[in-house]
Chain A
Amino acid sequence: MSDAMSRSGLHEPALALHVEDLTASYGGSAVLWDVDLNVPPGVLAAIVGPNGAGKSTLLKCVIGAVRAAAGHVYVFGRPYVRQRHRVAYVPQRTSVDWDFPTTALDVVTMGLYGRLGWLRRPGRREADEALEALAMVGMDAYADRQISQLSGGQQQRVFLARALVQDADLYLMDEPFAGVDATTERAIVELLKDLRSRGKTVVAVHHDLQTVSSYFDWLALLNVRLIAQGRVSEVYTSENLRAAYGPRVVLIAAQADGSPGEPETSAPTDAGARRTTAPPGPGGR
């Protein structure tokens, strides 16, 4: 990355997200250690790593929900607190109680609370915007549906609609594909690509190694420390993946497009190696 320090007081303004020396811990043990993450604007970036690698914590540090022990976060050249209006955060779907008494439309309207400020109430205009966002994820027919009656995929779409209505430049998504059906997964991929074509930046915690190359163009491998980052084609190597997941992981994703010149991914690397991917499962913290 270019070292474009302080033109007009901005720090790394060429980067959508710039995380430097970030260290965070829960009760003593480090969850993130000295992480430097740089994401250029206009890419779909995946943060990938094993369970407990600190992927979700990294996003929470960015938005200030988890206080970092050290390090700083810059969004488009300014600290996060001054750029909140340009960032939309999508938490893990399972992090909230979907039995909360409210409707899909109401949840999406929450995306406008930042713009509304403290005292103003959402009105007709806000409802229209929220409905439009629901339509973009194919959920407008469910606007008045109780959120407890939605399927997992539909709940995820509602969360994405809430991020869309924020009309941000940087989208931080925590496991947007976790526990959704194939239809929703395809719809979300389309949505992400649409965001990218409009010049938006997406940073998503992702779990499925097999789809990384087809869904994303930027990759950060994380396991407490940052293992590697850059274009998927450059970072998605068996060497890097072993560094992130440990030596026993052998890739089956050699056929994935976008990783030319990586023939060794299909070669067994240790005696009796099985063809496995990293274990899927619910995200770490």
Chain B
Amino acid sequence: MALLGDFTVRTVALGAALVGVVAGVLGTFALLREQSLLGDALSHAALPGVCIGFLLGGARQLEPILAGALASGALAALLVMLLTRATRVKTDAALGVALSLFFAVGTVLLTYVQRHEGAAQAGLDAFLFGQAAALVPRDLSVIGAVAAVVLTVVLLGWKELKVTTFDADFARSLGRPVVAIEFALTVLIAVAVVIGLQLVGVILMVALVIAPAAAARQWVTRLEGMVVLAALFGAASGVAGALASAAVRGLATGPVIVLAASGLVVIALLFAPQRGLLWHAARAQTQRRALRAHRVLVDLYRLGEAHRDPGYPSEQGMIDAYFGSSTAHVLRRLERRGLVARVAHMPEEGDHWVLTEGGRDQARELLAPFGARERRGPEEPRP
């Protein structure tokens, strides 16, 4: 934490945190609208704008570069919209076309600029992967202003964003300008991408939009919670990246931020209640155990019935054979729950088991739903 005392590190950490908050909040809506790829297209499409902004504004001017990035991102979004509306091209294909077209143009421009303008010192290629250390306090105020605008818009338009994201046709029936709301959301995502470019770069910026939201989705049950958690995840990833790259020389901030965010996704996918893989595995395991225990209880009960002796001591080997595999561990668990008891019936034959009073009750309970059918059985001719 001593690192935060360093002015540069503090600037980068604060900038990364703000970008993370903005990306997390907007990413939530992009994710729920199934438009994750839109962020990808927008960020890749920013590259030609970055180069053109540099050509027009010169090396040290950040504003024309960011304006160019925003403009070419918006142009790409427009292209996607035109392609999907005017032709039969589906959204994913349109996004792919726009992304690769703009990125190709951007790469051509980038190599041209670097050859001819001697722009290596301008650090244009930093926009590919980001160069957080280049962040200066003036950038912070830009990022801060954008964050304030985004949060205000989301707070004020909360109901509208929610209903449009969940059910656009219904929102339209209420008279909400759905197209305008969707357009505004797209513009905001483009802005979020642009302010993150310096930090994370055009190639990885989409991860900062999608990963915090994807991780947050796993933990929450409400949209409110998802937005807040995604913002926190985004901020935490940003700070983690800034600190890690400050602590270890040669670690690039942007990629570390993305790694941190991706780590949160992995954790969420594994451990989140209800939705996590481990949660599912644990539940499946519990169910398998319960099923085995029930079967053994019922088997013991039926063996007792067959011998007209509820306390009939069943031999372990017999239960195994009846069950189809070893039941030793199942019986031990049942013993711990007080449903079966070990008896020394014929010690030379190995363990024998009987149902306890509680075990018999539970077995009867398990059989109850089937009892009715069995009673009715004899009246019907058996096939």
Contacts and interface: CB of A to CB of B under 8 A. Distances in A.
B300 to A, nearest CB: 36
Nearest to B88: A27
A84 B223 CA distance: 27
A101 B34 contact: no
B156, B159, B173: residue with the most chain A Cβ atoms closer than 10 Å: B173
Question: Which of B162, B167, B178, B223 neighbours the largest number of chain A CB atoms within 10 Å of its CB?
Answer: B167
Interface string B162-199: 11011111101111101000000000000000000000
A63 B169 contact: yes
Nearest to B227: A101
B166 A110 contact: yes
A95 B167 contact: yes
Contacts of B222: 101-103, 106
Given A96-B167, A114-B174, A101 B88 contact: no
Nearest to B157: A118
A63 B221 CA distance: 31
Interface string A59-97: 010011100000000000000010010011101000111
B245 to A, nearest CB: 33
A98 to B, nearest CB: 10
Nearest to A87: B173
Given A65-B173, A101-B226, A96 B221 contact: no
Contacts of A65: 168-169, 172-173, 178
A102 B173 contact: no
Interface residues of B, number: 29
Contacts of B88: 27
B25 to A, nearest CB: 14
Query: What is the interface of chain A mostly: helix, strand, loop, or mixed?
Result: mixed
A113 B160 CA distance: 8
Interface in B143-166: 156-160, 162-163, 165-166
B169 A60 contact: yes
A81 B173 CA distance: 9
A113 B169 contact: no
Given A91-B169, A91-B170, A113 B221 contact: no
Contact of B175 (A81, A110, A172): A81
Contacts of A89: 169-170, 173
A146 interface: yes
Contacts of B174: 84, 113-114
Contacts of A102: 162, 166, 221-223
A84 B32 CA distance: 27
A110 B163 CA distance: 7
Contacts of B163: 110, 113
A96 B174 CA distance: 16
B173 A63 contact: yes
A119 B170 contact: no
B221 A146 contact: yes
A257 to B, nearest CB: 34
Nearest to A27: B88
B283 to A, nearest CB: 14
B225 interface: yes
Contacts of B160: 113, 118
A102 to B, nearest CB: 6
A101 B156 contact: no
B220 interface: yes
Contacts of A107: 166
Contacts of B172: 63-65
B352 interface: no
B44 interface: no
Contacts of B360: none
B87 to A, nearest CB: 8
A113 B159 contact: yes
A101 B167 contact: no
B221 A103 contact: yes
Nearest to A114: B174
A257 B21 CA distance: 62
Considering the complex of A and B, which 6 residue pairs feature the smallest CB-CB distances, nearest first? Answer: A89-B173, A63-B173, A114-B174, A65-B172, A65-B169, A96-B167
Interface of A: 27, 60, 63-65, 81, 84, 87-89, 91, 95-97, 100-103, 106-107, 110, 113-114, 116, 118-119, 121-122, 146, 162, 172
15 contacts: A27-B88, A63-B172, A65-B173, A65-B178, A84-B175, A89-B170, A89-B173, A96-B167, A100-B223, A101-B222, A106-B222, A107-B166, A118-B157, A118-B160, A122-B159
Interface of B: 32, 34, 88, 156-160, 162-163, 165-170, 172-176, 178, 217, 220-223, 225-226
